[in-house]
Amino acid sequence: MRYAHEVGKVRAAEGALMARLPDGTLMQRAAVGLASVCARILPAVYGARVVLLVGGGDNGGDALYAGARLARRGARVHAVQAGSKIHEGGLASLREAGGRLLDDAETPAAIADADLIIDGLTGIGGTGGLREPHARYAALAAESEGLVIACDVPSGVDASTGRVEGAAVHADVTVTFGTHKPGLLVDPGASHCGVVELVDIGLGPDLPDPDVVAARPADVQPPEPAPESDKYRRGVVGILAGGEEFTGAAVLSVGGALHGGAGMVRFASVGRPVELVRQRWPEAVATVIDPGPHEPAVLERIGRVQCWVVGPGLGTGEAAESLVAAVLGTDLPALVDADGLTVLARRRDLLARDAPTVLTPHAGELARLIGAARDDIEAARLDHVRRAAAELSATVLLKGSTTLVAEEDRPVRVNPTGTPRLATAGTGDVLSGLIGALLAGGLPALDAAAAGAYLHGLAARLAAAPAPGPESPITAPDVIDALPAAFRALNAS
């Protein structure tokens, strides 16, 4: 796992470590790591044109000391001072190594001609958009052809939340110290970071439990069939999806469950979706139910399952509401998606249950569920997914540019495999079936949702670029078809 800690925890860990070390040791460790990454990225250090954007905080000091190390290796290093303060020790070190401080008139040309720009304008404690002159320097860096390396976090990005509330640096690489910060993993902040490099400065023993975690391949462990497994032991998923108007959701969610490792899928809907599912997935056990409102006993006709998936393409009227109520009235794990979430927005009382519940909204659906504005959710995804998990007493998977999975009082899971290629109709239905299969196979709700998001994103990437080269457009059935390859890639890593 990649662990991320909010600023308060990082500050406390830094303070505890600094109390045991000589003054300045931590900054020197950070500077060594930063200079090392810069040297690795540059085609050659000797003769390289390096510009340091330096604020008055510790990140400005890190940048200055790193610049001094590069200067001693032959780079031409210039510093740009933003604001009235500068780290005096760092500036002295830079000057001793042959670097110098630019005046304001020299700055635009130097940034434009730079091979490498190090952003040390603000630190992890910065909030809100960049002010002047910091915003102007960030804009000049964005216009330069040189590589931009952010020191700890791109200036203008909230390190704890990923909020970006105005001007901010767009980095090609972010070199972060001691631990990841949530804002490096969660959009919109993550989109400003480029590649993130972690430099160990010795904080590990002093860091508490993380606030956010991102899985590596070895951390994703879907259920594996044992030698004595049969279709029932592998997990039976019950899916209630589709209607006369939206039939495709039924086919896609069943496909996601079957290719997600379910031992059996029991599917139920009105006549037309059942007909289509039988044609596309003859291995699914399909049951026709009447179009009107239903009593909870309707589930008995479908058969025994280990998990329910309800909502994709179901509609939002009385019939859909009765099916959502029936599913959430059971003591089995349940996943609610799409139209089912619209039902829950007016019937949140149905979430008062003891069994695990997974909700998989996009920002608009979450806005209806918790009474927030969609734009506010997109701007502060981490805050809102935590709020939703607490208010709704559920495992909440917030879809989007970075998919987040939250449970109350647990570190938020960030999915690292997402791709914009998934922004196409029907892929969410595939995800619902896939997570349902993992739930039926015995994974806890948080693990099932996080593993499902990981495999879903990986399958999309494999479908879009099955061989080296540019990605191609994909559709939801392409994701289903690529799921076996995603499982194989996971097992091979």
Is 180 among the annotated ligand-binding positions? no
pLDDT of 36 over the 90 cut = yes
What are the residues facing 373 on neighbouring strands? none
2-214 domain in CATH 3.30.420.40?
no
217-492: CATH class? alpha beta
Is 85 annotated among the ligand-binding residues? no
| Residue 428 marked in a binding site | yes
58 is in an annotated binding site: yes
Q: Say yes or no: do domains 2-214 and 217-492 share a fold.
A: no
**313 has binding-site annotation:** yes
Q: What six digits make up the tokens of 7?
A: 């600023």
Q: Is 103 annotated as a binding residue?
A: no
**CA distances to 242, 259, 399, 481 from 253, in Å:** 9, 10, 16, 13
Q: Are strands 264-269 and 236-240 parallel, antiparallel or unpaired?
A: parallel
Percent share of the chain, pLDDT over 90 = 91
pLDDT one-digit tens code per residue, 297-346: 999 999 999 999 999 999 999 999 999 999 999 999 999 999 999 999 99
Report residue 31's pLDDT band, with 50, 70 and 90 as the boundaries: very high
Q: Which residue has the higher pLDDT, 411 or 224?
A: 411
Confirm or deny that 119 is annotated as ligand binding.
yes
More confident residue, 373 or 227: 373
Q: Which two tokens stand for residue 477?
A: 């059935």
State the DSSP code for 164.
B
pLDDT for res 469: 76
Is 47 marked within a binding site? no
In total, the chain counts a number of residues equal to 493
- 294 vs 320: CA distance, rounded Å: 9
Say if residue 269 carries a ligand binding annotation. no
Gap between the terminal Cα atoms of the chain: 14
What's the chain's average pLDDT? 95
Q: Is 403's pLDDT higher than 90?
A: yes
| 468 confidence band (pLDDT: 50, 70, 90) | confident
Residue 419 in marked binding region: no
Lowest mean pLDDT: which of 275-284, 354-363, 467-476? 467-476
Confidence of residue 63 (pLDDT cuts 50, 70, 90): very high
Which DSSP symbol is given to 76?
Answer: E
Model pLDDT, residue 230: 64
The reply, when asked if residue 480 is annotated as ligand binding, is no
pLDDT at 125: 87
Query: What integer pLDDT is reported at residue 491 of this predicted model?
Result: 80
Q: Output the CA angle 182-188-192, nearest 5 degrees.
A: 85
- Is residue 277 pLDDT above 80, yes or no? yes
Q: What are the pLDDT digits (tens) for 136-166?
A: 999 999 999 999 999 999 999 999 999 999 9
- Stated pTM of the model: 0.94
Using the predicted structure, report yes or no on whether residue 353 has a pLDDT greater than 70: yes
Q: Which residue has the tokens 């200036």?
A: 155
- In the chain, % of residues over pLDDT 70: 99
How is residue 37 written in tokens? 């990454």
Higher pLDDT, 293 or 227: 293
pLDDT tens, residue by residue, 189-233: 999 999 999 999 999 999 999 999 999 999 998 888 777 666 777
pLDDT band at 492 (very low <50, low <70, confident <90, very high): confident
Instruction: Kindly list the domain boundaries of the chain, sorted by start residue.
Output: 2-214, 217-492
- The response to whether 123 counts as a known ligand-binding position is yes
Lowest mean pLDDT among 106-110, 223-227, 402-406, 446-450: 223-227
Does residue 48 or residue 126 have the better pLDDT? 48
Residue 189 among known ligand-binding residues: no
Q: φ and ψ at 366, to 5 degrees?
A: -65, -35
- Average pLDDT of the residues in 432-441: 98
- CA distances 471 to 28, 418, 463, Å, are 41, 14, 8
Please give the pLDDT value at position 244.
87
The answer to the question of whether 231 is labelled as a binding residue is no
Provide the sign of the torsion angle of the four alpha carbons 397, 398, 403, 404, taken in this order.
negative
36 annotated binding-site participant: no
To the question of whether residue 202 is assigned a binding role by annotation, the answer is: no
User: How far apart are the C-alpha atoms of 476 and 42, rounded to whole Å?
Assistant: 40
Asked if residue 268 belongs to a known ligand binding site, the reply is: no
